[in-house]
Amino acid sequence: MTTWKPIHCAPHDRVILTDEGTARYVSAKEAGVAGASGWYLCYSCGDLPLPPASDNPDSCSVSPSVWIDLPKPGVPQRDISITPRPAELGGGWQLRLLEYGEEVGGGVFPAGPSQSEQDNAYNEALAEAEEWLDSLYGDHQNASA
């Protein structure tokens, strides 16, 4: 689970979600106004609704106290990974349940050397993954992450 962090450790190179809204850090050089550096409300793409050098540069300026990363574009918010396990560890499959790229659950599905045992273990891992996705989305086949 992702947690809120103090603003003093927030990155200045990307858009983040703060307790005051979606924001990004703008340097004085980028702002074009001396002393205008700081956090500004912005769209998720990083564009500012009102440039800092406009008539009212403080209209989008904020003073957040905490922040959290926004999901990265193209990275599914929830996903599964089923990978083969080495034979020396019992073979079979490793299931990982992922939220925002971090493992939040999963399991090990050992299997014997035959193809049918491998297939059965894989199908068990897949069934558990589908159950997890269904618990989140209902019908995961029609859900968008």
* Longest Cα–Cα distance in the chain: 73
Task: Give the pLDDT score at 64.
Answer: 94
Mean pLDDT (whole number) for 6-34: 84
Q: Is the pTM of this model over 0.85?
A: no
The answer to whether position 58 is within a domain reads: yes
Sign of CA dihedral 9, 15, 18, 23: positive
- Do 54 and 95 belong to one domain? no
The answer to whether position 127 is within a domain reads: yes
The residue range of the domain holding 128 is 78-138
Which candidate, 101, 102, 93, places its Cα nearest to that of 127? Answer: 93
- Do 62 and 106 belong to one domain? no
Q: How many CB atoms lie within 10 A of CB 132?
A: 18
Q: Among 24, 42, 69, where does a domain finish?
A: 69
